[in-house]
Amino acid sequence: MPHALITGVCGQDGSYLAEFLLERDYQVTGLTRRVPDRSEAGVLDDRVEVLIGDVAVEGVVADLVTAIRPDELYNLAAPSFVPSDDPIGVAEATALGAARILDAVARHHPRCRLYQASSSELFGHPAEVPQTETTPFRPRSPYGAAKLHAHWLTVIARDVHGLHASSGILYNHESPRRGLSFVTRRITNTAARIASGERITLTLGDLDARRDWGFAGDYVEAMWAMVSQSVPDDYVICTGTTHSVSDVCEVAFSRLGLDWRDHVARDPDLARGDQHDVLVGDPTKARERLGWSARMGFEELIETMVDADVERVAASRPANPSAP
Q: Is the Cβ–Cβ distance between 69 and 5 less than 8 Å?
A: no
Determine how β-strand 214-215 pairs with β-strand 173-174: parallel
> How deeply is 293 buried, as exposed, middle or buried, from its count of CB atoms within 10 A (0-12, 13-18, 19+)?
middle
Angstrom CA distances, 86 to 45, 54, 89, 91, 106, stand at 32, 17, 5, 9, 30
Strand partners, 117: 168
Compute the half-sphere exposure of residue 109: CA atoms within 13 Å on the CB side of its CA.
20
d(CA 21, CA 36): 19
- Alpha carbon distance 309, 170 (integer Å): 25
Positions marked active-site: 119, 121, 143
- The separation between CA 132 and the C-alpha centre of its own chain, rounded to angstroms, equals 19
DSSP classification of residue 136: P
Kindly list the distances between the CA atom of residue 314 and the CA atoms of 80, 196, 239, 257, in Å, as whole numbers in the listed order.
28, 8, 32, 17
Strand residue runs (E) in 144-274:
165-170, 173-174, 202-204, 210-211, 214-215, 234-237, 243-244, 264-266
